[in-house]
Amino acid sequence: MNYMDKAIHINHKDFPDLITKKCGFSEEKAGREYHYSVTDKYGEGRFNRIMLGNGIEVNMVDVIFHNNLRLHYKLKQPLFEVVYMISGDLMFFNNEMNSIMKMRNGEANITFSNYVEGWLEYLSNKHYRYISICTSQPLSKVLCADEDWDDEIGDFINIDNKLSNHLMIPQKINPILQVPFIQMKENSMSSLLRLVYLESKAMEIVALTLENEIIKHKDTTCKIKLNKSDLSKMYLVKKIMIENMENPPSILELSKMVGLNTYKLKVGFKEIFGTTVFGYLRDIRMEKARLLLENHELNINEIANEVGYSNPSHFATAFRKKYGVTPGHFRF
Condensed to tens digits (0 to 9), the pLDDT of residues 51-110 reads 887 778 999 999 999 999 888 888 766 678 889 999 988 888 777 655 677 788 888 888
Mean pLDDT of 262-282: 86
In this prediction, residue 240 carries a pLDDT of 92
Instruction: Please tell me the distance from the alpha carbon of residue 246 to that of residue 315, in angstroms, as a whole number.
Output: 12
Domain covering 3-217, topology? Jelly Rolls (2.60.120)
Percent of the residues in the chain that have a pLDDT greater than 90, as a whole number: 17
Give the lowest-confidence range in 139-143, 190-194, 226-230, 280-284. 139-143
Q: What is the pLDDT of residues 131-175, one digit of tens each?
A: 999 886 666 566 654 444 444 444 444 444 444 445 555 666 777
Pairing of strands 79-87, 90-94: unpaired
Give me the pLDDT at residue 135, please: 82
Q: SS3 breakdown of the chain: % helix, strand, coil, rounded to 5?
A: 45, 30, 25
Instruction: Determine the pLDDT at residue 272.
Output: 78
What CATH number should be reported for the domain whose range is 228-331? 1.10.10.60
pLDDT, mean over the chain:
77
How many angstroms separate the Cα of 169 from the Cα of each of 234, 236, 269? 10, 7, 14
Average pLDDT of the segment spanning 24-29 = 46
Mean pLDDT computed over 98-124: 78
| DSSP letter string, 211-261 | HHHTGGG--SS--S---HHHHHHHHHHHHHHHHTSSSPPPHHHHHHHHT--
Contact 288, 299 (CB under 8 A): no
Torsion, CA 253, CA 258, CA 263, CA 266, rounded to 10: -80
Can you tell me the distance from the alpha carbon of 97 to that of 168, in angstroms, rounded to the nearest whole number?
A: 9
pLDDT of residue 162: 46
Cα dist. 152→58, 148, 189, 205, 221 in Å? 27, 8, 35, 21, 20
Q: What is the pLDDT of residue 288?
A: 86
Residues 6+ apart with CB under 8 A from 190: none
List phi, psi (to 5°) of 100: -90, 130
Question: What CA–CA distance (Å, rounded) separates 274 from 215?
Answer: 10
pLDDT of residue 228: 79
Q: How far apart are CA 97 and CA 83, in angstroms?
A: 17
- pLDDT over threshold 60, residue 294: yes
Convert the pLDDT of each residue in 255-270 to its tens digit. Answer: 999 999 988 898 888 8
For the segment 29-52, what is each residue's pLDDT rounded down to a tens digit? Answer: 557 888 888 888 889 999 888 888
pTM exceeds cut of 0.95: no
Same topology between domain 3-217 and domain 228-331 = no
**Where are the chain's structural domains?**
3-217, 228-331
- CA-based nearest residue to 322, from 277, 292, 283, 281: 283
Is residue 5 over pLDDT 60?
no
Q: Could you give the strand order of the β-sheet that contains 69-75, starting from the edge strand earlier in sequence?
A: 8-11, 69-75, 116-122, 90-94, 99-103
